[in-house]
Amino acid sequence: MDPLSPLSAFARGCAIPAHPLALTAGRRLDERRQRALTRYYLAAGAGGLAVGVHTTQFAIHGNGLLRPVLELAAETAVAEAERPVVLIAGALGPTAQAVKEAELAASLGYHLVLLAPAAGLSEAELLDRARAVGEILPVVGFYLQPAVGGRLLPARHWAEFAAIESVAGIKVAPFDRYRTLDVLNGVGSSGRLGEIALYTGNDNHILPDLAVRTRVVAGGRAMEAEFVGGLLGQWAVWTERAVRLHTEAAAARAGDDAALRRLLVLDGPLTDANAAIFDVAGGFHGCVPGIHEILRRQGLLAGRWCLDPWEDLSPGQLEEIDRVCAAYPELADDDFVAERLDRWLS
């Protein structure tokens, strides 16, 4: 693998925001602001973009927006990135749909496909789907929490999934430490622990996931598993700060105890902020509007609008966002955005 390629950057580990969808008040694609978001993530130092995923709103997979949204991100990244940037396209549905979406992503220059859970498929069918998509592009698995459309999958499933040669990574996002360990133990059992890039999607456990290696035992042999990067909806906001946290986490994993202590001090504030933005109190109903609200305050989005007109902040969520923004200014990158916003919107 070319050490300067986007796939190499993904394997080494990077900060990857889950890309939101910019809409007008009429709920049509706002191309100017969609490009501005991509420019923001690139300028902030993100190592990749995940597009067509939960934060982009899964509904784009059925309303004609998938191609233009994927295309805008890819075109902007190619035109403006000054380093390898890994492009990850989300794919949904049964095998035929996922294969078709992977073919679209490949035609637009994407490097990897993130396979979202599919309702109605057995575990065996999920594995077959991954094999089929892997014939087109390398695959990233996705353990999505049940509260937003995921399903519970045992360690055995992740061992079989990781054994598929085309699997390059797994986004681990069950928001559950026990389920996270199922993935780590499963990958350890597959014999491919050193070949698969593990990315945290646990927005409630970001910094501990990234800062500390985890001991797993498989076949009587002890190994260390590590999350090399984050692929997160939380990192769709305050991204410049997130990139710096990812860099510090790599230092902590490598043995920098001072970096580890600094990160653990920030773990509570970041988790508290995420609880407000992701609407934990409302069962995650307002998680995408919560992301939009932060971006709206910074001027990157014109409003919180989602494709579903009923999808908005939960009662009390706006006040919680006000609270965490006031309490934890060290997590934000408002000045970074303000200095560059006009250029990104031009």
Residue 344 inside a domain? The answer is: no
The answer as to whether 175 is a domain residue is yes
Q: How far apart are CA 161 and CA 182, in angstroms?
A: 12
pLDDT of amino acid 117: 82
pLDDT of residue 168: 97
**Residue 332 belongs to some domain of the structure:** no
Angle at 325 between CA 323 and CA 330, to 5 degrees: 130
- 140 lies in some domain: yes
In a domain, 16, yes or no: yes
Tell me the pLDDT tens digit for each residue of 286-304: 999 999 999 999 999 999 9
In sequence order, which ranges of the chain are alpha helices (DSSP H)? 6-12, 31-44, 66-80, 95-107, 123-134, 155-162, 177-190, 206-211, 239-253, 257-277, 287-298, 317-327, 334-345
Per DSSP bridges, beta strands 214-218 and 221-225 are antiparallel
Give the residue among 110, 85, 90, 109 at the shortest CA–CA distance from 14.
Answer: 85
Given pLDDT bands bounded at 50, 70 and 90, which one contains residue 170? very high
End-to-end CA distance of the chain: 37
Per-residue pLDDT of 8-64, as tens digits, reads 999 999 999 999 999 999 999 999 999 999 999 999 999 999 999 999 999 999 889
300 within domain boundaries: no
pLDDT more than 70, % of the chain: 99
Instruction: Count how many domains the chain has.
Output: 1
Rounded Cα gap, residues 116 and 134, in angstroms: 14
Reported residue count of the chain is: 346
> What CATH number is attached to the domain comprising 220?
3.20.20.70
Tokens of 226: 């590590």
Average pLDDT of the residues in 128-141: 98
The Cα 346–Cα 341 span in angstroms is 9
Q: Is residue 188 in a domain?
A: yes
Cα separation, 104 vs 41, in Å, equals 23
Could you please report the per-residue DSSP string of 256-267?
-HHHHHHHHHHH
The rounded mean pLDDT for the chain is 95
Q: What is the pLDDT of residue 144?
A: 81
Question: Is residue 147 over pLDDT 80?
Answer: no
Domain that holds residue 34: 6-254
Specify if 328 maps to a domain.
no
Q: DSSP assignment, residue 59?
A: G
Residue 233 and residue 287 in contact, taking contact as beta carbons nearer than 8 Å = yes
